[in-house]
Amino acid sequence: MEAIAVNDLSKIYSTRDGTVHALQQISFSVNEGEFVAVVGPSGCGKSTLLKILAGILPPSKGEARLRGTPITTPRRDIGVVFQSPVLLPWRSVLDNVLLPVDVQHLGRSTHEKIAMDLLSLVELTGFERRYPWELSGGMQQRVAITRALIHDPAMLLMDEPFGALDAMTREQMNLELQRIWLERKKTVLFITHSIPEAVFLADRVLVITPRPGRIMDNIEVKIPRPRTLEAMNVPAFGACVHSIRRRFDAKGVIDA
């Protein structure tokens, strides 16, 4: 069953120097419970696509639907995780997780146990009363993921959530995210610059061309789950990464 359906989506920005075609005739779908990664060079429109799916930005043409309903404004059934955790420094970990509950008036008392269960899921039990400045970068991002899940969204959008982390922490966060996804089976659209990260996490990888962004390819990742870091050394993993990177190299684009 389709969770996300994107049809003939285009986005054009008007600037003082003319128009910028960010996305051009994007069409794809994501099934319920599927983890799909999107990779592409800088400036290809990946973040623009995520903002349209989040209801933050309107498309110039075409439409995006979540469970059959057009996405036109921010919705309560969509969770978003950005590259920066964007935690409020004056709120504790628990209060940051409950922020969507407070904003949407969902009933704090009924969601506190859910919040505690989620913090346990991301291995932050005992940190409920700590403040963001007392946490490492990886721990802050785990709080951001928990906050995005607190209201049980139909779709989780992630815009390079681990891009600012060091390499070792990023690997651990990839393992954490896979574990959370395997347990919760949320529909995830994950934006990343890293081809190995996309292959490690995703069921499928959408490859976007340089601007104007178009879907160049849709590659299925057939590596069994759960995937360990050692999976990155198996021939099938290397072949999949090479296959995606070759598509960029053919266009003169170098990606890490």
Pairing of strands 204-208, 35-39: parallel
Q: Which comes out higher in pLDDT, residue 202 or 180?
A: 202
Q: Is the pLDDT score of 26 beyond 60?
A: yes
What secondary structure letter does DSSP report for 228?
P
The mean per-residue pLDDT over the stretch 158-187 comes to 89
For the cut 50, the answer to whether the pLDDT of residue 13 exceeds it is yes
Contact criterion met (CB below 8 Å) for 182 and 171: no
If you average pLDDT over residues 80-96, what whole number do you get? 92
Q: Distances from the Cα of 157 to the Cαs of 8, 135, 170, in angstroms?
A: 20, 23, 18
Of 2-11, 132-141, 246-255, minimum mean pLDDT range: 246-255
Per-residue pLDDT, 252: 43
What DSSP state is assigned to residue 88? -
Q: Compute the distance between CA of residue 141 and CA of residue 122 in angstroms, rounded to an integer.
A: 10
According to the model, what pLDDT value does residue 154 have?
87
Distance set, CA 189 to CA 114, 131, 238 (Å): 23, 29, 22
Most confident among 34-38, 151-155, 161-165 (mean pLDDT): 34-38
What pLDDT is stored for residue 88 in this prediction? Answer: 94
Task: Tell me the pLDDT tens digit for each residue of 195-248.
Answer: 999 999 999 999 999 888 999 999 999 999 999 999 999 999 999 999 999 887
Could you state, in order of their start, the residue ranges of all structural domains in the chain? 2-77+154-249, 88-152
**pLDDT, position 250:** 52
Tokens 């934006």 sit at which residue? 191
104: which 2 tokens? Answer: 């949407």
Q: What is the pLDDT of residues 138-156, one digit of tens each?
A: 899 989 999 998 888 889 9
Q: Going by C-beta distance under 8 Å and a sequence separation of 6 or more, which residues neighbour residue 26?
A: 6, 8, 9, 10, 49, 62, 213, 214, 215
- Which CATH number is 2-77+154-249's, of 3.40.309.10, 3.40.50.300, 2.60.40.420, 3.40.1190.20? 3.40.50.300
**Least confident piece of the model among 19-33, 64-78, 242-256:** 242-256
